[in-house]
């Protein structure tokens, strides 16, 4: 069946050319375009790249944490916060003073907040964030003190900031090259935990060492708490399709619109639809068989009909016995079929030998040729049915 058979050949070539061009352009864009999901450094729960936090979010849900994404303004969360509220602010990017006030209100109402990175330290109530001397360098943290958070185990991090050491109320849980990397302190009725970076919760690092233990100990017990992973300070994130938007998606939309216009104009410039001519009426199967039989009868070619039927039977049965394209005599074919189907009729070998001899008999009578061809057809159907039944028994067994 020809593709777009109703179109004029020139229109068909034009349409196919446009489709190929769109496919080539789309493939080049997909290959060379920048992968936002892979390269985006934001630890967002929507991202599955190396720096994303989708694995941590899904893991918390899987092990029983009542965690959800928060995408509305942060002050709305602060208005409903209480001692059971736990908020994760991974590398936040606050856009207004209202965000700073919202975090402070959450803590003063008894909530616990986990903040990471330089901006997380700046957003923390009474924060004491400093520049890091290990910026961009992976560091195995050294535990300090006896708090449960310091007992999380071996933790790796790439610090993007540090914390001051001049406040006695700040409990330093881990250090990197002597600089605080994990800090915990009380503020109002709540608790603030700060990490030097979000490395332990990134997809590419959460399985390293005991990074997951640090996250779980920072959040606390899963029971009697409500956990919110803030996405409102990561920019405009509505759904997974947010990261699919961009140049590639716009070009795809434009290409589809262009194809639709080409199809419309290809049809609309004509007066009416182009249809193929009706196919000529062919003879019925019975009429065809009668015509074929009369040709054999007039030519006196009964042996030829038997020869063709026997050759076709030999190819089918050869395939059935696993002897494809093998040239076998009637005797060899009978032995092969008997090994394959021991319960075949006893007259199988006799009929095969008779067909082989009849195919060389130029004086063969039509009635005898018809009988031999019918016998071959019956043997073929019986042998194939037996082979299928045997295969089904093997599968069930």
Question: pLDDT tens across 174-209, in order?
Answer: 999 889 999 999 998 999 999 999 999 999 899 898
pLDDT reading at 242 higher than 60: no
pTM of the complete model beyond 0.75 = no
Mean pLDDT is lowest, of 5-19, 231-245, 314-328, 354-368, for 231-245
Contact between 317 and 336 (Cβ < 8 Å): yes
Residue pLDDT, tens place only, 106-131: 999 999 999 999 999 999 999 899 98
State mean pLDDT over 313-330. 77
Give residue 366's pLDDT band: very low, low, confident or very high (50, 70, 90): confident
**CA distance linking residue 337 with residue 245, whole number of Å:** 64
Q: What confidence score (pLDDT) does residue 238 get?
A: 45
* Better-scored residue on pLDDT, 133 or 61: 61
Of residues 21 and 192, the one with the higher pLDDT is 192
pLDDT at site 13 = 80
What backbone phi and psi angles, to 5 degrees, belong to 227?
-110, 135
pLDDT at 334: 79
Residue 220 structure tokens: 């606390």
pLDDT tier for residue 300 given thresholds of 50, 70 and 90: low
Q: pLDDT tens digits for 247-274?
A: 667 777 878 888 888 777 766 555 555 5
Least confident of 121-130, 281-290, 354-363: 281-290
Cα–Cα distance, 356 to 378 (Å, whole number) = 17
> pLDDT tens across 43-62, in order?
999 888 888 999 999 999 99
pLDDT band at 310 (very low <50, low <70, confident <90, very high): confident
pLDDT of amino acid 226: 94
Q: Answer yes or no: are the C-beta atoms of 205 and 55 closer than 8 Å.
A: no
Which of 142-156, 323-337, 366-380 is predicted with the least confidence, judged by mean pLDDT? 323-337
Q: Which two tokens stand for residue 102?
A: 């919202």
Long-range contacts made by residues 140-145, C-beta under 8 angstroms, separation at least 24? 140/209, 141/174, 141/175, 141/176, 141/181, 141/182, 142/174, 142/175, 142/176, 143/173, 143/174, 144/172, 144/173, 144/174, 144/175, 145/171, 145/172, 145/173
What percent of the chain stands above pLDDT 70? 83
Mean pLDDT score of the chain: 82
Phi, psi of 106 (to 5 degrees): -60, -45
CATH class held by domain 39-243: alpha beta
Which H or E run contains 86? Answer: strand 85-89
């Amino acid at each position: 069946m020809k593709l777009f058979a109703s179109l004029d050949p020139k229109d068909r070539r034009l349409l196919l050319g446009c489709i190929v061009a769109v496919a080539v352009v789309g493939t080049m864009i997909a290959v060379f375009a920048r992968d936002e999901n892979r390269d985006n450094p934001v630890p967002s729960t929507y991202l599955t790249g190396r720096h994303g936090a989708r694995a941590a979010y899904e893991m918390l849900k899987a092990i029983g944490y009542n965690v959800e994404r928060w995408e509305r303004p942060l002050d709305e969360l602060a208005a409903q916060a209480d001692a059971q509220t736990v908020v994760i602010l991974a590398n936040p990017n606050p856009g207004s003073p209202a965000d700073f006030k919202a975090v402070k209100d959450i803590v003063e109402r008894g909530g616990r907040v986990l903040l990471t990175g330089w901006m997380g330290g700046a957003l923390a109530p009474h924060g004491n964030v400093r520049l890091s001397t290990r910026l961009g360098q992976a560091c195995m943290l050294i535990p300090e003190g006896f708090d449960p958070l310091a007992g999380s185990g071996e933790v790796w991090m790439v610090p993007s900031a540090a914390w001051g050491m001049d406040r006695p109320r700040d409990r330093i849980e881990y250090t990197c090259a002597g600089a605080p990397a994990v800090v915990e302190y009380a503020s109002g009725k709540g608790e603030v935990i700060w990490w030097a970076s979000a490395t332990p919760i990134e997809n590419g690092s959460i399985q390293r060492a005991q990074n997951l233990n640090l996250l779980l100990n920072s959040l606390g017990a899963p029971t009697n708490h409500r956990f919110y992973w803030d996405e409102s300070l990561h920019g405009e994130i509505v759904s997974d399709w947010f990261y699919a938007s961009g140049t590639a998606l716009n070009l795809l939309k434009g290409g589809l619109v262009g194809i639709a216009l080409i199809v419309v104009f290809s049809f609309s410039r004509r007066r009416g639809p182009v249809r193929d001519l009706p196919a000529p009426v062919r003879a019925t199967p019975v009429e065809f068989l009668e015509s074929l039989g009369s040709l054999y009868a007039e030519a006196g070619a009964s042996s030829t009909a038997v020869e063709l039927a026997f050759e076709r039977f030999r190819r089918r049965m050869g395939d059935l016995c696993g002897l494809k394209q093998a040239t076998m005599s009637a005797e060899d074919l009978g032995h092969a079929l008997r090994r394959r189907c021991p319960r075949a009729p006893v007259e199988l070998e006799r009929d095969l030998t008779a067909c082989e001899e009849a195919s060389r008999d130029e004086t063969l009578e039509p009635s005898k040729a018809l009988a031999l061809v019918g016998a071959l057809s019956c043997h073929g159907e019986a042998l194939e049915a037996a082979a299928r039944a045997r295969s089904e028994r093997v599968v069930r067994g």
